[in-house]
Amino acid sequence: MEHIFHIVNVFTRDLGPLTGNPLCVFEDATGLDTATMQALARQFNLSETTFILPSDKADARVRIFTPSYEMPFAGHPTLGTAHVVGARQNKTRLSLEMPAGIIPVTAEKSRWKLQANKPTWRRVERPAKDVAHLLGVDAGQLAGDPLWVNAGKEQLVVPLKTQDAVNACHPAGLLGGDLRSVDGHAMAYVFCDDGNSVQARFFFPSNGAIVEDPATGSATANLGGWYVSQGRTSLTRTISQGEKTGRPSTLFLQVDAQGTVFVAGDVVALGKGTLSLPSAV
């Protein structure tokens, strides 16, 4: 069994080919079972690997795997996979079926934009000072209420007052703690908003350590949901992420007057290859 895969970078900065968040996309996953998809995601060992399947509800069905588990939705896999589907189907307007629902995606040149699910949110069942402590920052640096936000994948969104506070985060407290999403994941997105742009970082546990993501579209969508929770709509933000990982990334957030959240970024294709698997796999 031979399967074609693509390597793309999503949320690139100024279209730099080695910036943004890398993604592996299998263009036709027909015949691959869940265990094999999970094993392939572990083989490539990127933040996520996606698998394209036929859909009777959308232009394609997409399954998203980290090296450890399947995700219902994630931002850079959505945009990167849309780039591959769009090239194969010669379309710049798509709908992708995911466990989180049907996600509309559009493109203008290299920039792909998704419309996130309508966000929901809930308060954190811990004092704000405890949340700050788990993230390794002083409680006085909090710029508002930390919230669990879900625009496709629930994550903790934490506003901070300064870029220095964002840079100082050391969230070792996420390991082994009880600060977890509804699906049991300890993910935290910290950000500082200067009124036009945002500096952000995203952390998640992997194999007993805290890992930092270079660019997180799902968390950007949740940032849009956080703004909606504060009654803030009709806004746009340019988000910088990934500097601390050596993968500078740029993400674009829009929240319209109705509170609909859009996330966009530039996609660069690096290459493609063929992976051969024994038929018994």
Tell me the C-alpha distance between 31 and 274, whole Å.
Answer: 15
**Residue-wise over 98-137: b if at least 16 C-beta within 10 A, else e?**
bebbebebbbeeeebbbbbbebebeebeeeeebbbebbbb
Q: Which two tokens stand for residue 46?
A: 């990127």
Beta strand pairing status for 21-26 and 49-53?
parallel
Tell me the C-alpha distance between 109 and 98, whole Å.
Answer: 24
Tell me the C-alpha distance between 1 and 175, whole Å.
Answer: 39
Examine the residue annotation and report whether 212 is marked as an active-site residue of this protein. no
Please name the helix (run of DSSP H) or strand (run of DSSP E) that holds residue 104, with its range, or none.
strand 101-108
- Active-site choice (2, 27, 48, 125): 48
Task: Quickly tell me which residue has 């219902």 as its tokens.
Answer: 72
The catalytic residue positions are 48
